[in-house]
């Protein structure tokens, strides 16, 4: 997605430890006009899949997922919660996720009320690197018996193994920008 790649080149900052800082428009401050274009692009890629529900994970996936849902005729969005609150029933699907950014492990939960075998689920997230968050969401979809139509990712770090690993299992992963290499001075996208 050319608009997104230009935005990354213009406003993204590469930091030590393979961190791409895009918090001026994606995951701290959020450019909602860009999110709308991202949502349209996800719709173009998955419009023939009869998606009934979007699944994402808190926190930075939520804004993108909600705006994307508008392009899918306002289908419901469910976000996996990172900790169990007293507002969530015990009746949950759960999965363990390791955060690349935070360097810690978290259990994420989705109430069984909001995903079931009748659903056709599109997973949306902002980043794909080692794939732990995506694996966790895939596990939750599988636990629910729903059909996974695929995953829509805004930025994939193609030099980390998550994307290739998950695609090798036959799961459709559509990333709007795949970065093959990055350094202080250059950033290369996959064609």
Where does this chain bind a second copy (CB under 8 A)?
A: 15, 17, 19, 21, 23-24, 27-33, 35-36, 58-59, 62-63, 65-67, 69-70, 74-79, 81-83, 85-88, 101-103, 110-111, 113-114
Both structure tokens of 11? 């406003």
Neighbours of 61 (CB within 10 A): 26
Q: Quick one: CA torsion of 110, 113, 116, 118, rounded to 10 degrees? A: -140
Q: Whole-number minimum distance, CB 165 to a second copy, in Å?
A: 23
Q: Whole-number minimum distance, CB 150 to a second copy, in Å?
A: 20
Q: Whole-number minimum distance, CB 30 to a second copy, in Å?
A: 5
Question: Looking at beta carbons only, is 81 or 163 nearer to a second copy?
Answer: 81
Burial class (CB in 10 A: 0-12, 13-18, 19+), 24: middle
Rounded distance between C-alpha atoms, residue 56 and residue 132, angstroms: 13
Q: Whole-number minimum distance, CB 170 to a second copy, in Å?
A: 28
**Dihedral-angle region of residue 170 (phi above 0 means left; psi in -120 to 50 means alpha; beta otherwise):** left
Question: Looking at beta carbons only, is 102 or 169 nearer to a second copy?
Answer: 102
Question: Looking at beta carbons only, is 110 or 173 nearer to a second copy?
Answer: 110
Element (H, E) at 114: none
Question: Looking at beta carbons only, is 139 or 171 nearer to a second copy?
Answer: 139
């Amino acid at each position: 997605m050319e608009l997104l790649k230009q935005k990354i080149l213009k406003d993204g900052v590469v930091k030590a430890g393979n961190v791409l800082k895009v918090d001026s428009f994606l995951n701290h401050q959020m450019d909602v006009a860009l999110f709308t274009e991202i949502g349209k692009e996800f719709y173009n890629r998955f419009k023939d899949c009869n998606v009934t529900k979007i699944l994402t994970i808190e926190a930075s996936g939520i804004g993108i997922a909600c705006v994307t849902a508008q392009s899918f005729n306002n289908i419901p969005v469910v976000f996996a919660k990172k900790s169990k609150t007293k507002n969530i029933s015990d009746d949950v699907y759960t999965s363990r996720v390791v955060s690349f950014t935070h360097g810690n492990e978290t259990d994420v939960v989705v109430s069984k009320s909001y995903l079931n075998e009748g659903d056709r689920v599109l997973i949306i997230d902002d980043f794909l690197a080692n794939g732990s968050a995506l694996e966790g969401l895939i596990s939750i979809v599988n636990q629910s018996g729903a059909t996974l139509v695929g995953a829509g990712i805004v930025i994939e770090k193609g030099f980390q193994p998550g994307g290739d690993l998950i695609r090798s299992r036959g799961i459709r992963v559509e990333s709007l920008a795949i970065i093959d290499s990055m350094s202080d001075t250059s950033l290369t996208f996959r064609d």
